[in-house]
Structure 1
């Protein structure tokens, strides 16, 4: 499978995960997994990063775990800037999760966030953020992408 097909498959699976929370038009217009992530994550040997399949399953689990507050805001038409589409791409230490913003409508699109035992849907603030996957790898793991 080539990089474009992998990205398309991950994006489609993520759409299925987020379908209970966002309408299909919103997902079609705004959900995009940055190619720099899908093109490179499988080539890396970084223990803190999940495989693509584990990233998707953890995203589904975390979304379900933290959806109560989101659903209340959505149903009251009071969504916040944090109520966006994320992919859980890894973890470190005790309860730190790396989340990649996959929502093109957000000013945070393609940024990666470190949340400690938290999720943006719950109004929690991240501890660290990186501009994109390239910066994340360089600053946190000393890996330069070609």
Structure 2
């Protein structure tokens, strides 16, 4: 079940990454990086490609998105840490499997012994019932 939670959290993290990229792409201010750069003029009926925000508002939005990304990443790390077997090497896991197989074998022997005892008790009980019917 924890694996599904990790998958869901990773999906949300990716969505948050996309939202952060979209926010930065959509709301940055238009600046020239070199004298040769040109900012295209928009036609009257053409929607702007960038909806420039006030610098403080833009930074506040970036900070909020960054905090959300960090929080989600920490949640994913926690979920991953709860997955079984992460602290065990492959050799340790194989050893655990062997030990569990031995325990299973011992439990199966106990079950077979219990079945034999049950059959013996049923035979004796059947003999007693027949003996009582005769009398």
Which structure is higher in strand share?
A: 1
TM-score bracket for this pair, using the shorter chain length = under 0.3
TM-score (norm 2): 0.20
| Larger Rg over CA atoms | 2
TM-score (norm 1): 0.19
Greater RCO, 1 or 2 (C-alpha within 8 Å, sep 6+): 2
